[in-house]
Structure 1
Amino acid sequence: MTASTTDAPRPPEPAHEPALGPALGPALDLAPAARRVAELLPAIGPEQLGDPTPCPDFDVATLLDHLVTLTDAFTHSARKTPLGAPETPSAAHLDPDWRTALPDMLAELVAAWAEPAAWAGETEAGGLRLPASEVGAIAVNELVVHGWDLARATRQRFSVDAASARACLGFAQQFEVVVPGLFGERVEVGADAPVFHRVLGLEGRDPRW
């Protein structure tokens, strides 16, 4: 998706959401999560694109389209050049070159959020204006949780580094308080479960999927 540069009437200002409590920071390293997603792609066969995933209503192709879209969107968010609300993910929209395009896009995402300015002030994500630190945390969460979705759907192993897992847990706990039901029905995993299993449970996923 590209931003229009025509002389069309100025769109309305994006909705401004209140901060979700203390800033979700400090700056996070997106490289481990992005690298893990990229490592999954070579092993995905065309026969798997229609397979179900832990993400409700998404088959593998639709999930890949979502990953392409969100990677592009969060790169623009880091650069403070947001794209606005995304289109609904669809297998029909999946870039036929996703296997080579997505790793390059993930590298751009990591580079964009490696800039200190990316974490300063506010930016937009999905048409909402939020503190940049929260948007960065959302980006990490999207990569990690949807990376797990993709790995489970394509029968691959998936590991999450400790820093990313903790960031996702903080994100999920804050959003659950501010926007109850955002992730659907919680899956109970137990207070002593591994950190990432607690993330999955809070975001409506069964770690045993």
Structure 2
Amino acid sequence: MLVSSPVYTDKWSTVRRALAAAGERFAELLLSVPPQAMATADWTVADTAAHVVSISGSYASMLRTSGGGLPIPALEDVLKETTVDTVAHFNEVALANFDERDPRTLAERVRGDIAEMLRVSEDLDPGHPIDWLGGSRVPAAGVLAHLINELQIHGRDIARATDARWRVSPADAALFFEIFLLGVTSYGYGRLLDWDRPERKGRIAVEFRSSHTAPAAMVLTDGLVTVEKPAENVDVKLFFDPVTLNLMLFGRVSSLRAALSGRVVVWGRRPWLLPAFMKKVRLPS
């Protein structure tokens, strides 16, 4: 039987406040940047905002206890089969079936979706499991934390298009790791980490620490990833700045740059095992 972690209840109000604030900042930024400026190599500012809206609208639907389909019906066909390595296809389907690119309309959609998410989840148990990509399950608080990270990462992409200022609070960034990443790993990540290569045999335990999260260990054993309490026999210890770690996990900052900045520090009895761990415990970049 799945037991909800106290961290979801303890940080429920924090996650909710952070999501409301991040959504408002993102909407305001969107109205100040030319929509046809390139936010990434492939997406304009308007495309990036449409991507975020496709997520916020889907999450509002997922959090409704009455259920109901996703606002982009075409996503229903690919939702359960999506893995980390096929998220790009999921995003392509979303953008191909969502035509809105007007920044003012998109800004209002972000605000409206977040208001709806907060409304429908107000009386929801923050540890309530929500069906997510690839047959995975995420605590309700983790759905909010994931959208906060999307707003932070893509807000940075949009801001960099015109050198606008975009600051992310480390405490808010930490919610992604502590509430979402540990949450989806604990609740069951389904097919998210499936791939077509042989699984590494053996055990690799990585302890994660930061000034904004409780210590936690993620353990890779014969291809299966679990969350455990830190123990003396961990192989790798990793201290991280949450903002930098998120940017690194999503390919915005290289691991070398993160290490040279001192914002991600690795040590332990077998630190050379970290690359093998990160090949399996990966996120879209």
User: TM-score under structure 1 normalisation?
Assistant: 0.65
CA contact (8 A) 2:28 2:107 kept: no
When residues 132 and 173 of structure 1 are mapped into structure 2, their CA distance, relative to the original with a 3 A threshold, is closer
How many residues are aligned here? Answer: 178
Query: Given the alignment of the two structures, is residue 150 of structure 1 paired with residue 158 of structure 2, yes or no?
Result: yes
Which residue of 55, 59, 67 maps to 1:74? 59
Deviation of the 1:52 alpha carbon: 4.5
CA distance in 1, matches of 2:136, 2:194: 21
CA contact (8 A) 1:65 1:91 kept: no
Which residue of 113, 124, 128 maps to 1:121? 128
Higher relative contact order (CA 8 A, sep 6+): 1
**Corresponding position of 2:233:** none
CA distance in 2, matches of 1:194, 1:103: 32
When residues 135 and 65 of structure 1 are mapped into structure 2, their CA distance, relative to the original with a 3 A threshold, is same
When residues 158 and 201 of structure 1 are mapped into structure 2, their CA distance, relative to the original with a 3 A threshold, is same
**Corresponding position of 1:31:** 20
Q: Which moved more, 1:60-69 or 1:128-137?
A: 128-137
| 5+ long unaligned stretches in structure 2 | 71-75, 80-89, 196-237, 258-285
Which residue of 194, 204, 207 maps to 2:251? 204
CA distance in 1, matches of 2:101, 2:250: 30
Deviation of the 1:181 alpha carbon: 10
| 5+ long unaligned stretches in structure 1 | 1-18, 183-190
CA contact (8 A) 1:78 1:113 kept: no
**Corresponding position of 2:31:** 42
**Corresponding position of 2:147:** 139
CA distance in 1, matches of 2:6, 2:64: 19
Query: Given the alignment of the two structures, is residue 97 of structure 1 paired with residue 102 of structure 2, yes or no?
Result: yes
SS at match of 1:61: helix
When residues 92 and 99 of structure 1 are mapped into structure 2, their CA distance, relative to the original with a 3 A threshold, is farther
CA distance in 1, matches of 2:142, 2:128: 10
CA contact (8 A) 1:52 1:60 kept: yes
CA distance in 2, matches of 1:68, 1:92: 12
When residues 173 and 77 of structure 1 are mapped into structure 2, their CA distance, relative to the original with a 3 A threshold, is closer
Which residue of 26, 40, 43 maps to 1:58? 43
CA contact (8 A) 1:62 1:90 kept: yes
When residues 104 and 180 of structure 1 are mapped into structure 2, their CA distance, relative to the original with a 3 A threshold, is closer
**Corresponding position of 2:174:** 166
CA contact (8 A) 2:35 2:103 kept: no
CA distance in 2, matches of 1:121, 1:166: 20
CA distance in 2, matches of 1:79, 1:108: 12
**Corresponding position of 1:13:** none
**Corresponding position of 2:86:** none
Deviation of the 1:72 alpha carbon: 0.6
SS at match of 1:123: strand
**Structure whose residues are more often strand by fraction:** 2
CA distance in 2, matches of 1:196, 1:180: 23
Alignment RMSD, CA only? 3.7
When residues 116 and 129 of structure 1 are mapped into structure 2, their CA distance, relative to the original with a 3 A threshold, is farther
CA distance in 2, matches of 1:111, 1:142: 17
